[in-house]
Amino acid sequence: MWLYLVALLVLYLLCRWYRERQTVSNLPDKHVFITGCDSGFGHLLAKQLDGRGLRVLAACLTEQGAERLQQETSGRLQTVILDVTKSDSIAAAAAWVKGQVGDRGLWGLVNNAGIGDPAGPNEFLSKADFTRVLDVNLVGLIEVTLSLLPLVRRAQGRVVNVASAAGRLSLIGGGYCPSKYGVEAFSDSLRRELRDFRVKVSIIEPGGFRTPLIDVQRVQKSLEQVWSCASANVKEAYGQQYFDRHFEKFKELLFTTSPKLHLVTDAMEHALTARHPRTRYSCGWDAKLFYLPVSYLPTSWTDYLLARSMPKPAQGI
């Protein structure tokens, strides 16, 4: 009995391996638009796809980021300046993309642009702190997608949205986790709506990776600003020790992050070039073996596991 089960499992894995190795044809004729290419995943993906021969349209927030990327890639890659929080910037970028792709349409849209700060205990933050992150990570992603969907539908292409393991398991206060939960929900509804147009939507769920989003000095400065803006009542309730311990936990987490950004960009590349892309890509062993499994546990179990490592407020129980 067990032998048959093992044989079936091996057969399933072999079939899956073969299916996922099949790639789409005519890659050099396909355009891919990527947001957030100044650094991190977006920068690496732009270079990676350019090396595969695709026609990369890279959106950067700054001129410096665009110039650096152009110096590191071939003449095929084109750049445009894009601020995903501004509708006029998105409209201008969409018009530029339309001019680049012509009647062929846009094969791939990778929504990678994102920020993490301000983050911290929720009661330390203001509505503006939440809105700043949501405007980039979720609202901006939605507006970029809606602006370019007609071109993606024409090419019967792909939409790749970068969420996070924190879009399944809320690990920290602030707008980051809610924004990534929102990316998951938007992507799920979009995938079902576009199915009959032969457009495929994939979600990338990285664990902890060492990108510019995770920089000790920058996050420390951000947390100190959050603490300084907190009300006297909040400071008294939580205490200075709570704030100090919160930052120490972040630094401990930093040492567990992976520098292997290619694990994420390889997943993005597969979602764009495979004939049968996955719906979700979990990237990193922490995502595969801890964050995602824990997200399926009963809520009381999840709360116990995560609360054990949290600092205690001064006026807590």
Task: Tell whether 7 is covered by a domain.
Answer: no
Catalytic choice (176, 181, 242, 291): 176
What's the pLDDT score for residue 9? 77
- Residue 137 and residue 163: Cα distance in Å, rounded? 9
- Are residues 130 and 235 located together in one domain of the fold? no
- Are residues 233 and 292 located together in one domain of the fold? no
- Are residues 163 and 238 located together in one domain of the fold? no
What's the pLDDT score for residue 217? 67
Q: Which domain holds residue 115?
A: 27-214+259-303
- Are residues 123 and 155 located together in one domain of the fold? yes
Which range among 51-55, 92-96, 107-111, 238-242 shows the weakest confidence by mean pLDDT? Answer: 238-242
- Are residues 198 and 169 located together in one domain of the fold? yes
Task: Tell whether 236 is covered by a domain.
Answer: yes
Task: Tell whether 11 is covered by a domain.
Answer: no
Convert the pLDDT of each residue in 5-54 to its tens digit: 777 777 777 777 767 777 888 889 999 999 999 999 999 999 999 999 99
Using pLDDT thresholds of 50, 70 and 90, give the confidence band for residue 132.
very high
Give the chain's length.
317
Which range among 65-79, 208-222, 291-305 shows the weakest confidence by mean pLDDT? Answer: 208-222
Residue 222: is its pLDDT beyond 80?
no
- Whether 176 is catalytic is yes
H/E segment holding residue 159: strand 158-162
The alpha carbon of residue 181 and the mean position of all alpha carbons in its chain are separated, in whole angstroms, by: 11
Do the Cβ atoms of 143 and 87 come closer than 8 Å? yes
Do the Cβ atoms of 38 and 61 come closer than 8 Å? yes
Question: Strand order of the sheet with strand 55-60?
Answer: 78-81, 55-60, 31-34, 108-111, 158-162, 200-206, 280-283
- Are residues 142 and 248 located together in one domain of the fold? no
Q: Is 26 helix (H, G, I), strand (E, B) or coil?
A: coil
- Are residues 179 and 201 located together in one domain of the fold? yes
What's the pLDDT score for residue 197? 96
Convert the pLDDT of each residue in 274-292 to its tens digit: 999 999 999 999 899 989 9
- Are residues 250 and 271 located together in one domain of the fold? no
Closest CA to 72 of 54, 99, 93, 45: 45
Task: Tell whether 69 is covered by a domain.
Answer: yes
The CATH number for 149's domain is 3.40.50.720
Convert the pLDDT of each residue in 148-183 to its tens digit: 999 999 999 999 999 999 899 888 888 999 999 999
Mean model confidence pLDDT for the chain: 89
- Are residues 195 and 234 located together in one domain of the fold? no
Residue 316: is its pLDDT beyond 70?
no
Do the Cβ atoms of 94 and 148 come closer than 8 Å? yes
Residue that has been written with the tokens 């152009």 in this structure: 70
What's the pLDDT score for residue 293? 92
Convert the pLDDT of each residue in 223-261 to its tens digit: 777 777 778 888 788 888 887 777 777 766 766 778 889
Taking CA atoms, 27 is separated from 21, 108, 148, 248, 279, in Å, by: 15, 11, 20, 46, 21
CA atoms within 13 A on the CB side of 187: 30
- Are residues 252 and 270 located together in one domain of the fold? no
Number of domains in the chain: 2
**More confident site: 314 or 271:** 271
Do the Cβ atoms of 176 and 119 come closer than 8 Å? yes
202 DSSP β-pair partners: 160
Q: Is 220 helix (H, G, I), strand (E, B) or coil?
A: helix
Task: Tell whether 312 is covered by a domain.
Answer: no
Task: Tell whether 19 is covered by a domain.
Answer: no
What's the pLDDT score for residue 2? 72
Residue that has been written with the tokens 């911290």 in this structure: 120
- Are residues 31 and 56 located together in one domain of the fold? yes
Task: Tell whether 2 is covered by a domain.
Answer: no
Task: Tell whether 42 is covered by a domain.
Answer: yes
- Are residues 58 and 198 located together in one domain of the fold? yes
Question: Per the omega criterion (within 30 degrees of 0), is the bond before 118 cis?
Answer: yes
